[in-house]
Each structure stands twice: as C-alpha cells, then as structure tokens.
Structure 1
Amino acid sequence: MKVVVQVKLLPDAVQAPALEATLRMVNRAASHAAAVAFHTGKTSRNDLQKEVYAGLKADFGLSAQAAVRTVKKVVDAYATLRANMRAGNLGPEGSKRHRKAESKPIVFRADAAQPYDDRILSWQYDARTVSIWTTAGRLKGVRYTGQPDHLKTLREYRRGETDLMYRGGKWFLLAVCEIPEPQVYQPVDWIGVDRGTTNLATTSDGANYQGRRLTRYRRWHTKKRGELQVKKTRSAKRRARRRARRESRHASHINHRISKEVVAVAQRTRRGIALEQLDGIRERGTASRDQRARLSSWPFAQLGAFVAYKCRRAGVPYLEVDARYTSQHCPRCGHTARNNRPSRDHFRCRRCGLAGPADHVAGVNVRDRARSAWAFVNTPVPQRN
C-alpha cells in the first residue's frame, strides 16, 4: 500500500532563499503551461510537453527533468478538475461555480507544492541530508529531520516522487512509500464502532470517545472566524484561513488517536473492525439550522478512512455494514421501533425491556451485522453432483 511520509527540511540561510525562488519560478512556469493547455485543449502529457517543453527551459530556467515534472503537475491538475466536475463536486453543470471552473485556466499559487523525482532529488539517509535541484543550481547537504518511525519507513520503502512543500514558514518533503501489506488474519470476532457527533466513536466493547471537548473547540473557532469575517480585510481573511487549518489539524489528530487505539485493541485480540456505511448521511434526515453547519463539516468520513488504512497496515479485517436502524434495533429480541430510543443518549426496548446507552447498543448492532456478513461471505459454496 502507498503511504506518504512527511519530513521537515532544515535549510540554512543560503539554501532557504534558493528553495523559495525555485518554488516561485516552477509555479509561474506551471501556470504558463496550464494557460497553454487551456487555450489549445492539449491536456495529455505528450501533447502538452511538445508545446511547452522548450519554453519552460528557455524562458523560466528549468532543467530538463524539472520541466517534465512541471508538465506532469499541470496534466494531473486538469485530470483532477475533470474528475471533480464529473462527480458534481463543483456543483451541477451550468451552476456559477461550475462555469467559473471551466471558463479559465488553472493558476498555481506561488508556494504550491512541486514534485521531484530521483533525477533531481537524491536522499542520503545516513547523513539525513538531501541533494535537490534549484534554479540557482544543485543544493547539496540540505538537512532534514522527522519522527523515528517515519525515517525508518522512508529508508526502507520510499518509491516514486517526492513533493517539496512550503507551509507556515517551514519547509517539508512529502515522499511516497510503498509498504507491503500484511496478510489479513481470520477474525475470532468483531468490534462494532458507532460514529456520532456527541460521542465521536463508541465500540461494542463499551469504549466511548466523547466529542464534547472537540465540539466546544470547534464552536469557539467558528465564533472567532465569524468575528474576523465581519472585518473583511485581507489580514482578517488570512487569519480566518489559518484558524480553519488549525481546527482541521486538531480534528485530524483526534481521529488519528481514536483510530489508532481501536485498531490496536482489535489486533491484540485478533478481532476485526466493523463500521457503519455512512454514504449520504447528510441526506437521510432533516437537521435544524444550527446543526447543519456542524453536520456538514464533521469529519465522519475521515475517521472511517483512518480506521480503514490502519487496518490494512496491521492486517486487521475491516467491514462496512448497513447503518439503517442500528440505534433503534434491539440486539436481544430483534424488535425495531423509533420509540426504542426515547432520547439521544438512551435506548430501551419496548418489547423485552433491554436498556443501555444508545451509542453502545448501536455498536453492538454493527458488530452483530458484521458477524452475519462475514459468515455469509465465508460460507463454502455447496458442490453440485
């Protein structure tokens, strides 16, 4: 499986300006190539490279391989744009956002990430340095650092290209690593996980990861962003974006922590992990006005994605099951009714009297559905005589 390892570059006072000038120049060149692709309609790699390759070298001072990587960057950007349009991520055809996206060429930010390959960036793992191409010449001995497990993964499994990124006044390298996937073991049982907003995750074992602190944190950031948006100045907009990124990083950190703990328990007990399928969760019911923003921005899918890829890395079986009525279905007698859940936090079966926390009951139902699904998939097909 492919993973991206991030390490921090530590350029000195001479190296940093060269990296900054390079990033600005290659993104100017990429914007030029994107404009040519837009006006000529040539968005395939070979056709676009024939159009702009000589100009990127002569007019922007790019080396041969840097020009090739810049063309590939532009081609990938247009491929992503077309995919988003087909998926409806930019609104329906004819909408203002859709028309705006298709009516002008792609423009790259001055500090947008730039891809490098092994011809223009080489690693010295023992010295923890890289040699990297810049418009001012080859920079050798640029130091980098990172977490010990990231550095170990980088040394053993790095394959493919590396992106140079400038973010928040710091330099980073994002390297693609190809990690072999362990064989998935046969689970002895399953852990059902119910996701929510009040409780971020509740397992069938009874483990509960509350979201109240994160809710307060997000509400506070929303209030501060609103205060900044009222000012309508460039500085206020920049600070609002910085707050949004900080909030997103905090939510991602919490989702990483939850998924890591759940996967570790499953691996230790030789069980699988089952989650609800939450496709179209925002369309299933109506929410009050003050709940819409919270539901639309809540990282449900991110937590599921983190659990899924951590399961793949650990060889833990992973399933997604039908989410319908998991919080209204009684796991003991099978009775399903809306009034089995008299409040958000409580479950009480109207037929057999089973009672407990609603999210825990939902986690148990997810686990039971995973048991049934796994048994059905692994049941041997009877042989015909």
Structure 2
Amino acid sequence: MKLVVQVKLLPDAAADAALRETLALANRAANHASRRAFDAGIHGKTSLQRLVYGELKEMGLSAQPAIHVARKVAGAYASLKANLKAGNYGPEGSKRRAKVEVRPIRFRKDSAQPYDDRCLSWQLDARTVSLWTVRGRCGGISFVCSPVQAKMLAEYRKGESDLVYRGGNWYLHATCDVPEPALCAPKGFLGVDLGIANIATTDDGTMHAGKQLNQVRYRHRRLRKRLQKKGTKSAKRLLRKLSGRESRFAADTNHRISKTIVTEAQRTSRGIALEDLGGIRERVRLRKPQRVTLHSWSFAQLGQFIAYKATRAGVPVVHVDPRYTSQGCSACGHIDKKNRPTQAVFCCTSCGFAEHADVNAARNIAARGAAGWAVSHAADDAA
C-alpha cells in the first residue's frame, strides 16, 4: 500500500529564496503548458511533453523538471476529465460545468512541484536533503520528522516526492510503498454506524459525538459569511488566515476516531463493517438548512482513514448495504419507520426491543458484515 510521509524542511534564507523562485517558475511553466494543451487539445503525458518540452526548457527549467511540469499538467487534465465524467461539476450545460470546460486549468504560483531521485537526494542519517532549484543544486537543507517516519523513509520510500509550500513553511511529501500484512481471520465484525449527531457509533455502544465538530463548522461558516459580506482588505486577509483551519480540525478528529476503532477491532480480533455510503448526497433529499450540514459531513474521509489504518493493521474491512439499517430491529429483524420515534431512540414495534438508534444500526451493520464475509469466503473455499 502507498502511504505519504510528510517532513518539514528548515531552509536558510538563501535556500528559502531559491525554493520560492523555483516554485514560481515551475508554475508559470505549468500555466504555459496548460494553455498550449487546451488550445491544441492535447492532454496525454507523452504528447504534451513533445509539444512543450523545448518551450519549458527555454523558460529556464532543466530537463527533468520540465518533464515533471508537463506530466503535472497532463495529470491535472486527466483529473478534470474524470471529475466531469463523474458529474462532480454538474450536468452538461450547467454554468459550473461550462466554467471549467471553456478555459485552461490554472496553477497557483505556489502549487506543489514533483521531484524524483534525479532532482532530489535524501541524506537520512544527517536529516538533510539536496534539491534542484533555479539557482542550482541546494544541498544540506535540514528536515525534521519522527523516528517512525525516518524508518519508513529508509525502508520503503519509492517514487516521487512533492515540494509543498503551505502556511509559510516548506514540506516534502514522500511516497512510501509499504507491504501489506496478511489479513487476520476475524472472529466477528465490529459494526460502525456513521452519522452527523454522532460521527461514529460502534455496536459495542461506543459513541464518538459530533457536537464539537458541528459547533466548529457552524462557527467557521458564520464567520466566513460575515467576513465575505464585509469585503474589506482586512476581512480578506483574515479569510486567508482561516483558510483550511476547519478542514484540518475535521481531519484530525477523523484520524483520532479511526485510530480508536481500528485499535479496538485489532484488540478483539474482529473485522470492521462499514456502510457503503457512495452517492448519498445525490440520493438524500433534505430541507435547505440541513443541506449545508450534509455536504460538509466528511464521512468519506473517515471511511478512508479507517480502511487504510485497518489494512496496515491486518484487519479486514467490508462495506455493506446501508438500506434500512436504522429502521430494522437488530433483535428480531422487523423493519418499520415507526421503530424510530425520535432521532436517538429505537423501539421495535414488533418485539419491543429498545436501544439507542445508532447502536442498533451498528449491530445491523455488524450482522450484515459477518454474513457477507461468510458468503464470500465460503465461495472462495469452494473454488
């Protein structure tokens, strides 16, 4: 499995200036290549490289950085094509879709730039790196990382690394190809119900409340609205300062929740059963005040965090059909809308079983996960 290790660079004043100039030139070149690709209708990596390689060299890039710029642009157009095909920019003819279709892709002056081993070398024992810049090779740039990250870099680093400038700091995002451990044979499944009031609830009864996260989201949303309405230079400056803070808080919350869930599953020798919530935003119809909450709900990120942490721990993960998990009784199987008199309460109208609604749903998910695993592995054993 591929993991990204982030290390923080500590360049001196000269190296910092060289890195700034390098990113600025690389992204000017990327914008030039993007315009040429858009005008010529050429988006393939090899074809685009042939088209713009000489022009990028004339702008001041060396051979390998010029190739990486062309590939970065081709990759951006491939991502745009996939998003258009998936309908992420709306249906054909919509204003949002037309806006991205009628103009070339633009790169910020500080967008990340990929490096390979010809342009970047690591001295892990000395905790330094050497990078290509427009001022020549800059060596001896210190970096900091944890011992676990250093071990992973030494053993599994493979492929490209991205030079990133964010929040006034420099980072390298290095790709590591870590071998996956063999999956354990689960002695059952830990069902996880994802929601908004409670971000995640397990069938053991453990609840990870979403109150604090929702309060943070609401506070940031209200502050952004007020600053955008004000529109002054100081308001825009504060908006830039606040940019990304909410998403980082949500990501940190999801990391902590996913770690707790995977650790518990590993401790009890169980697999993890999750709902398959793909396309939920298109399927669910809500009143206007509820839409913002749904569309800011980062359930996909939490699911991804659980999946990759579980893979690293050798814990199997299965995705189950989410239909009627909140309306069905985990004791007798009876399904009825009236089983949910309130958001938090489940009371079966058939057998009288009562439980917290999210815990009941998690038990249904666990049962479906165990059943699905048994069926799929029975078929594998028979084959």
Amino acid at match of 2:55: G
Q: TM-score, normalised by structure 1?
A: 0.96
Secondary structure of residue in 1 paired with 2:138: strand
For residue 265 of structure 1, what is the aligned residue in structure 2?
264
Q: Is the partner of 2:110 in helix, strand or coil?
A: coil
| Amino acid across the alignment from 2:117 | D
CA RMSD of aligned residues (A): 1.6
2:8 partner SS: strand
Alignment of 1:137-286 (within 5 A): 137-233=136-232, 235-286=234-285
- CA contact 1:2–1:177 (8 Å) conserved in 2: yes
Task: State the shift of 1:280 in Å.
Answer: 2.6
C-alpha distance in structure 2 between counterparts of 1:337 and 1:78, whole Å: 47
CA contact (8 A) 1:274 1:321 kept: yes
Provide structure 1 residue ranges, at least 5 long, that are not aligned to the other structure. Answer: none
Distance 1:166 1:292, change over 3 A: same
Distance of aligned partners of 1:265 and 1:39 in 2 relative to their CA distance in 1, 3 Å threshold:
same
Match of 1:51, SS?
A: helix
Q: Which residue does 1:55 correspond to in 2? A: 55
Spell out the pairing of 1:129-140 with structure 2 (5 A cutoff). 129-140=128-139
Spell out the pairing of 1:31-180 with structure 2 (5 A cutoff): 31-58=31-58, 60-180=59-179
Shift of the 381–252 alpha-carbon distance from structure 1 to 2, 3 Å rule, reads closer
Q: Secondary structure at the match of 1:216?
A: helix
Deviates most, 38-47 or 334-343: 38-47
Moved more, 267-276 or 237-246: 237-246
Separation of aligned partners in 2, 1:234 and 1:192: 49
- Whole-angstrom CA distance in 2 between matches of 1:34 and 1:200: 40
Distance of 1:188 and 1:35 partners within structure 2: 56
In structure 2, the CA distance between the partners of 1:241 and 1:194, relative to structure 1 (3 Å rule), is farther
Mapped to 1, the partners of 2:365 and 2:275 lie a distance apart of 7
Q: Does 1:6 align with 2:28?
A: no
Closer, same or farther in 2 for the Cα pair 1:72/1:284, shift >3 Å? closer
CA 1:117–1:340: 2 relative to 1, 3 Å: same
Contact kept, 8 Å, 1:221 with 1:244, in 2: the verdict is: no
Post-superposition Cα deviations, 1:109-132, rounded to whole Å, max 9, x if no partner, equal 100000010001000000010010
Q: Structure 1 stretches (4+) deviating beyond 6 angstroms? A: 381-384
Give the Cα separation in 2 of the matches to 1:80 and 1:220: 32
Paired position in structure 1 for 2:297: 298
Q: Equivalents in 1 of 2:234, 2:66: separation in Å?
A: 35
Query: Could you say which residue in structure 2 is the equivalent of 1:19?
Result: 19
Structure 1 equivalent of residue 336 of structure 2: 337
Conserved in 2, the CA contact under 8 Å of 1:275 and 1:319? yes
The 1:48–1:234 alpha-carbon spacing in structure 2 relative to 1, beyond 3 Å, is farther
For residues 381 and 150 of structure 1, what CA distance do their matches in structure 2 show?
Answer: 37
SS at match of 2:244: helix
Q: What amino acid does structure 2 have at the position aligned with 1:85? A: L
| Counterpart Cα distance in 2 of 1:308 and 1:204 | 18
1:356 match: 355
- Report the secondary structure of 1:53's partner residue: helix
> Displacement, 1:328?
1.3
Counterparts in 2 of 1:382 and 1:296: CA distance versus 1, 3 Å: closer
Q: Give, in angstroms, the shift of residue 244 of structure 1.
A: 4.3
Deviation at 1:379, TM superposition (A): 2.0
TM-score by length of 2: 0.96
SS at match of 2:137: strand
Aligned amino acid, residue 158 of structure 2 = R
Counting aligned pairs with the same residue, the percent is 53
Q: 1:42, CA displacement in angstroms?
A: 2.1
Partners of 1:294 and 1:380 in 2: CA distance: 41
> Structure 1's 50 and 198: CA in aligned 2 closer, same or farther, altered over 3 A?
same
Q: 1:322 to 1:6 in 2, by over 3 A?
A: same
The whole-number CA distance in structure 2 between the counterparts of 1:381 and 1:183 is 16
Where 2:13 maps in the other structure, the secondary structure is coil
Query: Cα deviation per residue 1:169-194 (whole Å; 9 max; x = unaligned)?
Result: 00000011100000111101110000
Return 26-35 or 37-46, whichever deviates more.
Answer: 37-46
Pairwise CA distance, 1:89: 1.1
Residue 98 of structure 1: CA displacement?
Answer: 1.7
Which amino acid in 2 is paired with 1:360?
Answer: V
Judged with a 3 Å threshold, the aligned counterparts in structure 2 of structure 1 residues 309 and 382 are, in CA distance, closer, same or farther, namely closer
Q: State the alpha-carbon separation in 1 of the partners of residues 289 and 237 from structure 2.
A: 25
Q: Is the 8 A contact 1:116 1:162 kept in 2?
A: yes
Q: Distance in 2 between matches of 1:329 and 1:266?
A: 24
Opposite residue 184 of structure 1, the aligned amino acid is L
Secondary structure (helix, strand or coil) at the match of 1:141 reads strand
- Deviation per CA, 1:169-224, whole angstroms, max 9, x where unpaired? 00000011100000111101110000111111110111111111111111111111
C-alpha displacement of 1:343: 0.5
